[in-house]
Structure 1
Amino acid sequence: MKLRSAAALAATLLFVPFTATSASAAVPANDTFAGATVVGSLPTTIEQDTTEATTDALDASLNGMCGAPATNASVWFTYTDITGDGFLADVSASDYTAGVIVTAGDPNEGNLVACGPGQVGVRGEAGTTYSVMAFSDSAAQGGNLSMTFGELPPAPTAALTVDPRGVAYKDGTARITGTYNCTNADGFNSDVSGTLTQTVGRVKINGFFFVNPLECDGSTHTWEAFVFSENGLFSGGKAANFSVAFACGLAECAVVEASGKVQLSRNGK
C-alpha cells in the first residue's frame, strides 16, 4: 500500500509543471473592451503576453474605417486626457508587427480619432476618455506586446512665402517660387500646394501645383513649382496665386496660407 501511495504521489508531481505552464497561457483580461486596462498617467509602458488574445466583430467594424491588413490578438486600454495635451500610443517595441486604433469614448459608437501601424498621436479636448486597441496587423497571433503611453512632441509649425515674380514659358507652363519653414513635422506628410489664375483675353486660365516632401528641420528652404494650365496657356503678365502649406506631425497639422499677385515674365525672359 505504501509503495502504491509513493508511486501515485510521484506521478502527480510529474504532471504539476505541465499543468502550471498550460494555465499561464490564458486569454488576457483586457481581450475585450469590457475588461480594458486603465492607464492612469504618462509615461506608462505595459508589457503583455497577447498570444491567447482574440479578435471580434468590434475590431472588424473599427478596422473598416482604418484598413489594417488584420486585427489579430487585440487588447484594450483606456486613458483619460485631463489636460488636453494629448498622448502618444506606441507599440513599435513589440516582438511582432502591431498597430493601434483609438476612439473617443465607447468604441462601439465608432468615434475613430486615429489609427496606424507602430504608433499614433492624439490631441483633443481636455477631459476626453480614449479607448485604445493594440493588435497584430499580420497573421501573427500576438506575442510580447510593449505598449507605451507617452507625451506628444510639440505641435507642428509652418511659415510660407510666395515670390512676387514668376516665369511663363513658351509651352504655356508657369514657374513660381517661394520659401517655407516647418518644425515638428514629418516631411513626407507635408507639402506646399495651390493654384495660379491668369486672365488672358476673355479666358481665365487656371492651374494647380503640388510640392512634396518638405524639409521640416526648422530652417528656411526655397520651393519651386511648375504650373500646368487646365484650360489654356499661361503668358507674360499679372497672375493671382493662392498657396497653402501643410506641416503634419503625429497628431495634427499646421496650416498656413499665402496669396497675392505674381508677375510672370514672358517666354521665360
Structure 2
Amino acid sequence: MNKKALAYIFMLVLFFGMVGTGTVYAQDVSGAHQKIGNYHHKGEFTQDLELLKQKAKEMGIETEGKDAQTLHKELKEAYIKKHAEALGIKTEGKDMETLKKEIRHVWTLQIAKEWGISTKGKDDKTIMKEVKEAKLKKEANEFGISTKGKDFKQIKREIYAAKVLKYAKEMGISTEGKDIYELGKEVHDKMIYNAAEKLGVETEGKTPKEIFHEIMINHGEKAREMKLFPFREEKIYFFRDEQEDQDHGE
C-alpha cells in the first residue's frame, strides 16, 4: 500500500469513525479510534462547524450557507471516494454503501494476507472472525494469558485488563482500590494529556474528549508516527459494522 493511500485511509477513519464503537474505556486502552467512532455516531463531532469548514476547504468543498450536518455528509462522501480511489476501486455510478462494502472487502483480503489466513470460499465476516481469533491468541500469548477452556469474551477481558495494568505501571498510575474500567479511564485520559503536551496542544479549560478531538484532527498522522496512542493498524484502517463487538474487552 503506497503512502498516499495510507494517508487517505488514516484520515478517513480519523474523521468519520468507520471502525467499531461501543463502551470507550472497555474497548481499548487508548480509546483512540473507538472514541472517534462514538463522536460521529452520536453526532457530537458534527457540532464543531469550524473544524468541518476547515476540512471541507481542504477537500475543495464549498462551505457557504451549509450547516454542520450538511458539511459532515459531503465530507464523508468525499473521503470515502478518495479512499476508494486510493485502493484502485472505481467510484463512478456507485453509492456510498456500495463503496464502503468494496473498501471493506479490499481491506479484509489485505488483513487476512498479513495474518496468513486463507480466504478461499469464505465471506468477509468469516475471514475477519478468523483474523480476530488469531489476533486474540497472539495477544494472549504475549501477556502470558492461557486461552484453554475460555471463550473469546473472557480472553478479551483478560487482555484488556493486562493492557490497562501495563500502561498504568508505565505511567506511574496507582492501581490501588480501582476497578479495571475506572483505571482504564484514568490511563486513557493521561495518554491524551501526555500526547497533547508532546504535540504542543493547549489543554486548559478543555475536557479529555475535546483535547483528543483536536489531536486527531490537527495532528492525527503525527500522533500515529510518534506512537502516542497504541494504534493497531488493522483496527484503524478497517471498516466494521456498528452493531459488532459491543461487549467489554473488544
TM above 0.5, yes or no, is no
Q: Which has the higher contact order (CA 8 A, sep 6+)?
A: 2
Larger Rg: 1
Q: Which has the higher helix share?
A: 2
> TM-score by structure 1 length?
0.21
